[in-house]
Homo-oligomer: A and B are copies of this chain.
Amino acid sequence: MKKGSSREKDFIKTVVDELCQKTSYNAVYHRSSQEEPMPSIETLIEIVERLRSILFPGYFSDAEMMPKTMSFYIGASLDKVEILLSEQIKRGFCFSCTDEEKQDCMDCEKRSHDLAKKFISALPKIRHQLASDVNGAFEGDPAAKNPGETIFCYPSIKAITNYRIAHELHLLGVPIIPRIITEMAHSQTGIDIHPGAQISEGFFIDHGTGTVIGETSVIGLNVRLYQGVTLGAKSFPKDKTGALVKGIPRHPIVEDNVIIYSGTTILGRVRIGKNSIIGGNVWLTRDVPPNTRVMQGGEFRPITESEY
């Protein structure tokens, strides 16, 4: 490892000097409010893994728990989640805190803790939803041998678990943390669900790679999607200054029992009526009535009795 002559070290100094000029780093440098550290990806992974083990007891870590000892394991793990999550929520607030907001610093720690507790209180509800999603996966995939296999192996359940956790935090107004949690699942599964989307029970995404569900999407009961499905926005209104107007409803509403096959793209605030089936590779930017089958070429036709 010969690193050589003194000239070379001057070379390092030159590059360092360039990189440390404010003009170079200004647009890509970050300091959270109150010198708070950045949210910790590692800790958030731990939190999500703990939650997964709590939600699906016996499958993941602490898999040795049995009904008689379950409360020990879940109690200890929840207590840790409360501590770790409070801290990460606070870091999330400090990450995105603007100068005007700083007056709230005083109770930001308390507020973070309160939100962590509210989140934890929602876990029984989240488990109930996930149990319905597991059922959706087992019933919707002929290759699934038993519901346990979908919990243990299916990317769909992993992605939806992260989403349901992230969505609850999103509803509580926690910044950035929810997005990090859904991106973890996106990276592992190729399924990209925005934490702001509203998804009812019994949801299943088969295979899943490349499926995208946008921020303001609304999805009904027992909906089934396949890989490569996009529920996206059609256009992005800009304000007078030319900046994007953020946060307005711009993604589809998918009603109960809809099936959307692979590669299909649905854009804009359209409504896909209940019980409809949208074929694969379809491009859709308008409403679909209930009980309608949308064919490859794009034509609509009513679904007959025998198709169920």
- Measured CB to CB, the residues of A under 8 A from B are 1-4, 6, 8-13, 15-20, 22, 24-25, 27-31, 34-39, 54-60, 62-80, 82-83, 86-87, 95-96, 109, 113, 117, 120-121, 123-124, 127-128, 130-131, 134-135, 139, 141-149, 151-155, 175-176, 179-180, 183, 186-190, 192, 194, 196, 207, 209-210, 212, 214-215, 226-228, 230, 232-233, 236, 243-247, 250, 261-263, 265, 267, 279-281, 283, 296
Shortest Cβ distance from A5 into B: residue:
B68
Chain B residues contacting A246 (CB-CB under 8 Å) are 142-145
Q: Is the CB of A17 within 8 A of B135?
A: no
In the complex with contacts A35-B1, A210-B228, A20-B70 CB distance below 8 A: yes
In the complex with contacts A143-B194, A209-B192, A96-B280 CB distance below 8 A: no
Residue among B59, B68, B74, B86 making CB contact with A1, cutoff 8 Å: B86
Q: Is the CB of A16 within 8 A of B66?
A: no
Q: Is the CB of A263 within 8 A of B230?
A: yes
Nearest CB of B to A163, in Å: 15
Shortest Cβ distance from A21 into B: residue:
B124
In the complex with contacts A12-B75, A29-B58, A145-B96, A227-B192 CB distance below 8 A: yes
Q: Is the CB of B2 within 8 A of A124?
A: no
Chain B residues contacting A188 (CB-CB under 8 Å) are 187
27 contacts across the A-B interface (CB closer than 8 A): A3-B66, A8-B117, A11-B117, A11-B120, A11-B121, A16-B72, A24-B124, A28-B130, A28-B151, A31-B66, A37-B64, A39-B152, A72-B72, A73-B79, A76-B77, A96-B145, A142-B233, A142-B244, A143-B196, A152-B180, A153-B180, A187-B188, A192-B227, A226-B232, A230-B280, A232-B262, A261-B265
Give complex CA distance A127, B20 in Å. Answer: 11
Chain B residues contacting A139 (CB-CB under 8 Å) are 243-244
Shortest Cβ distance from A80 into B: residue:
B64
Chain B residues contacting A186 (CB-CB under 8 Å) are 155, 209
Residue among B22, B190, B209, B230 making CB contact with A262, cutoff 8 Å: B230
Give complex CA distance A196, B145 in Å. Answer: 13
In the complex with contacts A31-B66, A96-B148, A74-B142 CB distance below 8 A: no
Give complex CA distance A11, B134 in Å. Answer: 28
In the complex with contacts A38-B59, A96-B148, A190-B209, A28-B143 CB distance below 8 A: no
Q: Is the CB of A13 within 8 A of B75?
A: yes
Give complex CA distance A290, B146 in Å. Answer: 39
Q: Is the CB of B127 within 8 A of A4?
A: no
Q: Is the CB of A127 within 8 A of B28?
A: yes
Nearest CB of B to A219, in Å: 17
Q: Is the CB of A155 within 8 A of B187?
A: yes
Shortest Cβ distance from A208 into B: residue:
B192
Other A-B pairs, 9, CB within 8 Å; known A2-B113, A139-B244 = A12-B75, A12-B82, A24-B128, A29-B57, A64-B80, A142-B247, A261-B265, A263-B263, A263-B265
